[in-house]
Structure 1
Amino acid sequence: MTTPSAPSGAGVPTGGPGDPGQVATAGLSLSPFRALRYRPDRVGNLAAVTSPPYDVVDPNRRLDLETSDPHNIVRLILPRPEPEDSGDRPDRDTRYRHAARLLAEWQREGVLAPDPEAALYVYEQTAGGILQRGLIGSLAVSGKEAGIVLPHEDVMPRPVADRVGLMRTTKANLEPLLLTYRGNGGASGVIERTVLGEPLLTTTTTDGTHHRLWAVTDPAELATVTRDLATCRALIADGHHRWEMYLRLQRENRHLPRSPWDRGMVLLVDTARYPLRVRAIHRVLYRLPLDRALSALGEQWQVKDVPGPLEHALAALGEAKRHGGNAFLLTDGHGTFQLLTDPDPALLDAHVRPDRPEEWRHLDATVLHSVLLDHTWQVPDGPDDIGYLHASAAAEREAARTGGTAVLLHPVDESVVRRLAEQGVTMPRKSTSFGPKPATGLVVRSLELG
């Protein structure tokens, strides 16, 4: 995902009275920080204490991670309630306090320890022939109106409130957001020089991804990164709810001078050099059986039965998208696949907002939510009725388990995401999944360390 340079004026010295020589930028401001990291002699296997991002960990995977090592980071990002709380529906604060207690306990025990000096961290992932490198640092938080960090999806209040409560209580950034930008080569040069040295850590997670991490502390190299990023803006590839969390907590603490809440931990990837993959996020409608979903469509859609298995049906979906227009694949998880295409234009005109760009109005996610979910199927927008799954096979299994309907989508092209974001237009929530995503647990930013 790429974005153009920021407006002119980046890098103008302010010479403010409280901070002489400070440089104000119209672009990205990425600062070093002292990371909390697992000490290998205390955990043995670094891979056993890492986790995928919190929002892609399903209940079975969560249990596997918790049992892989008593110090797995999933115990912090998806905490259980305090042991003494035996209620059927424990208060969220109990879970947050449990995470804060574990974080403090692991630091006292030396399981997690701060690095000796502040650094930017070069992070590398390799898997299946894909190589991705970027910089982990503490990024200045700015609202959408500043045009420096651009969201491309809407957010849901409930997950934002959950992440706010967790971060407020733990006083830590537990996992980096994934942001993309296009630089002028300076930061990339620093990365390429850094990876020639000995890494701080190397590990391979169970999905076969190889991870390496280096620290950048040299003042000249840090200055090179600062100059490069000062004329750039970024697009949020993964972590919209956590970015909204950063914004909300910054507002809460605006009265504090030099507040640590003014920055948040991110992984910045220059996609001119390391393009990301874009995948769809699928929906499972738990309380809508497939036969009811199909009967409600009436004559306003073309419906075609396509043969399985899942891979063949997805190929049919891809072929339909190549011909243009909206297309969805519906399945009950038991081998039945129905391809929906060619909605009645009058149906779209009646139920899709007219005050948005035409490209947005014809997105599959827009049509799915505005037309099918809200109008045709009248599915309530809540976790009891709609599940969001990143893997098509997982969506198929969940439909079979619940007796509902999986709605499988084709990935949107990244150029579409970029164009809409640059116009200040956000897509429906959970429209895209960018990857590879950074592993959680390799680097933690404690706000109490600055």
Structure 2
Amino acid sequence: MDFDTVVPPYVAKPLKLLPFRAVMLAPARVGDPASARALARPYRDVATRLSQWIAEGRASSDVAPALYLHEYTSGGLTVRGLVGALDMSRRAESMADRAVWPHEGIHPEQAGDLADRMLQMELNPAPILLVHHGASELRHLIGEIVRSEPDWRYLDRTEQRQRIWAVRDPELVARIDALLSGSRCLLADGHHRYAAYVRLQERNPGTPWDAGLAMIVDQLDTPLFLGAIHRTLGGTSIEELLQAAAAVGAELTTRSRQAALGALDGTLLVLTDGRDWHTIRPRDLDHQAAVSWLHEQLLPRLPRPVTRIEHHHTVEDALASATRESPAVLLPSPDFDQVRTLVESGGLLPEKATSFQPKPSLGVLMRPIADG
């Protein structure tokens, strides 16, 4: 079985984001690596551990259920989204019914491990990230909330600025519910956690596991940055990669380091082993993402299979790992509309094809299952 193409069931419309009572780490502990101890093994003790932290002032529990508008700013980029318990209890029977669209396959074993971990923790420790093109009325409504004083605001240990509004008014929650109901959301980050949510719901129907923690970001309002994830390919050579690219009709150009890096864009890939530099222009990338072309067209043409693929979120990291025995392929940043069109037509991208950034710090909003 090709585990990279296994996709969990799709959640059906209407998309519903339900209020919950959040647990939050104290501001001084949000983003602190030492705070990970609260969520560490043994997982069955996490609920008790968090209760102790609340008693000691190292964490807090909100006074009542709410939807949360969470805004965070990192590296000059501000992202804002609604956080709630995503209803996972209905399955789509057709493409038109799908509310949440994963864009990558998952490894079932990893999803199973995460499901077991959350079950023992009795906690959703972090939201999955969903992106959509929200209705203008919803953007206006969120803008009104943002103009009010936030319930929490602080700078965390990673220097992310956090602002959070608790939305409890029943009429306002109902308006948000109506405006979200028809949304189609791309799953930006958290594919394995989403699959774990599905597994937990199917095993525990009619319980708080019918929902999972999610943050919905309007890509037309405060967009996440969509970046590429580059590769180094162990067990092959730059010569074999060039021969395979030529075999599928790609245009190859030998360049200097500076010229190659300067040419990296939506139509070109860069190939290097740290000594030689080349650009590759595949055919017809208008209908296929560059990362899909790499995995579906180029790698199968190699005379020997790649023994190891390493993923790198920056060009610098990929180049630092590039060698004669493990050349680097630098990929262009994908286009959000291209990814969404591909996914909504029934396609998938390879594993670790995209990097949506920035992500919120750990510990800002967590969902204890005991409180729904």
For the aligned pair, the TM-score class normalised by the smaller chain equals 0.7 to 0.9
Structure 2 CA distance for partners of 1:437 and 1:378, relative to 1, 3 Å: farther
User: Which deviates further from its counterpart, 114-123 or 431-440?
Assistant: 431-440
CA 1:307–1:204 in 2, change beyond 3 Å: closer, same or farther? Answer: farther
Q: Check the 8 A contact 1:182/1:270 in 2, yes or no.
A: yes
Whichever residue aligns with residue 232 of structure 2, its letter is V
SS of alignment partner, residue 143 of structure 2: helix
CA distance in 2, matches of 1:412, 1:106: 39
Contact 1:38–1:46, Cα closer than 8 Å, also in 2? yes
Tell whether 2:333 aligns with 1:415. no
Residue 252 of structure 2 aligns with which residue?
303
Aligned CA distance change for structure 1 residues 392 and 75 (closer, same or farther; 3 Å): farther
| Superposition map of 1:388-407 within 5 A | 388-399=311-322, 404-407=326-329
State whether residues 31 and 363 of structure 2, in contact with CA within 8 Å, keep that contact through their aligned partners in structure 1. no
Alignment of 1:344-423 (within 5 A): 362-376=288-302, 378-379=304-305, 385-399=308-322, 404-423=326-345
Checking the alignment, whether the CA contact within 8 Å between 1:172 and 1:444 is kept in structure 2 is: yes
102-111 or 200-209, which moves further after superposition? Answer: 200-209
Deviations 1:150-194 (A, max 9, x none): 122222334323322322321211111111123334443442233
In the other structure, the counterpart of 1:30 is 17
Provide Cα deviations, 1:294-323, integer angstroms capped at 9, x if missing partner.
4665665543332225xx5332122xx4xx
**Aligned residue pairs, count:** 353
SS of residue matched to 2:65: coil
Distance 2:37 2:343 in 1: 31
Alignment partners' CA distance in 2, 1:434 and 1:378: 32
Structure 1 segment 163-202 matched on structure 2, within 5 A? 163-202=114-153
One-letter amino acid of the counterpart of residue 412, structure 1: P
Over the matched positions of the two proteins, sequence identity in percent amounts to 31
Q: Which whole-Å deviations, capped at 9, do the CAs of 1:68-123 have from their partners, x for residues lacking one?
A: xx3x23763xx5xxxxxxxxxxxxxxxxx423424531322323332110011111
Q: Map residues 39-54 of structure 1 onto 2, 5 A cutoff.
A: 39-40=26-27, 45-49=28-32
Offset, 1:213: 1.5
Deviation at 1:202, TM superposition (A): 2.9
Q: Give TM-score, length-normalised by structure 1.
A: 0.70
3-state SS of paired residue (1:193): helix
Q: Which residue of 1 aligns with 2:8?
A: none
Counterpart-to-counterpart distance in 2, 1:47 and 1:109 = 13
| Cα distance change on mapping 1:113 and 1:364 into 2, 3 Å | same
CA–CA distance in 1 between the matches of 2:78 and 2:219? 12
Question: How far apart are the structure 2 equivalents of 1:306 and 1:249?
Answer: 51
Relative to structure 1, is the Cα distance of residues 378 and 217 closer, same or farther in structure 2, using a 3 angstrom cutoff? Answer: farther
User: Which of residues 21, 36, 55 in structure 2 aligns to 1:73?
Assistant: 36
Q: 1:99 aligns with which of 31, 34, 43?
A: 43
Q: CA 1:143 to 1:289, structure 2 compared with 1: closer, same or farther past 3 Å?
A: farther
Contact 1:119/1:217 (CA < 8 Å) preserved in 2? yes
**Stretch deviating more after TM superposition (264-273 or 106-115):** 106-115
Matches within 5 A, 1:256-295: 257=206, 259-290=207-238, 293-294=241-242
Q: Is the 8 A contact 2:46 2:121 kept in 1?
A: no
CA contact (8 A) 1:144 1:150 kept: no
SS of the residue corresponding to residue 272 of structure 1 reads coil
Partner of 1:154: 105
Structure 1's consecutive aligned runs of 4 or more residues displaced over 6 angstroms after TM superposition are none
User: What is the CA distance between 1:291 and its match in structure 2?
Assistant: 5.3
Structure 2, unaligned runs of 5 or more: 1-11
Letter in 1 for 2:270: L
2:36 maps to a residue whose letter is: I
Q: Which of the residues 198, 205, 225 maps onto 1:247? A: 198
Q: Secondary structure at the match of 1:109?
A: helix
Structure 2 counterpart of 1:227: 178
Out of 28-37 and 183-192, give the one that drifted further.
Answer: 183-192
Q: TM-score, normalised by structure 2?
A: 0.83
> How much does 1:280 deviate?
0.9
Tell me, in whole angstroms, the C-alpha distance in 2 between the residues paired with 1:221 and 1:171: 29
**Letter of the aligned partner of 2:19 in structure 1?**
P
The RMSD of aligned alpha carbons is 2.9
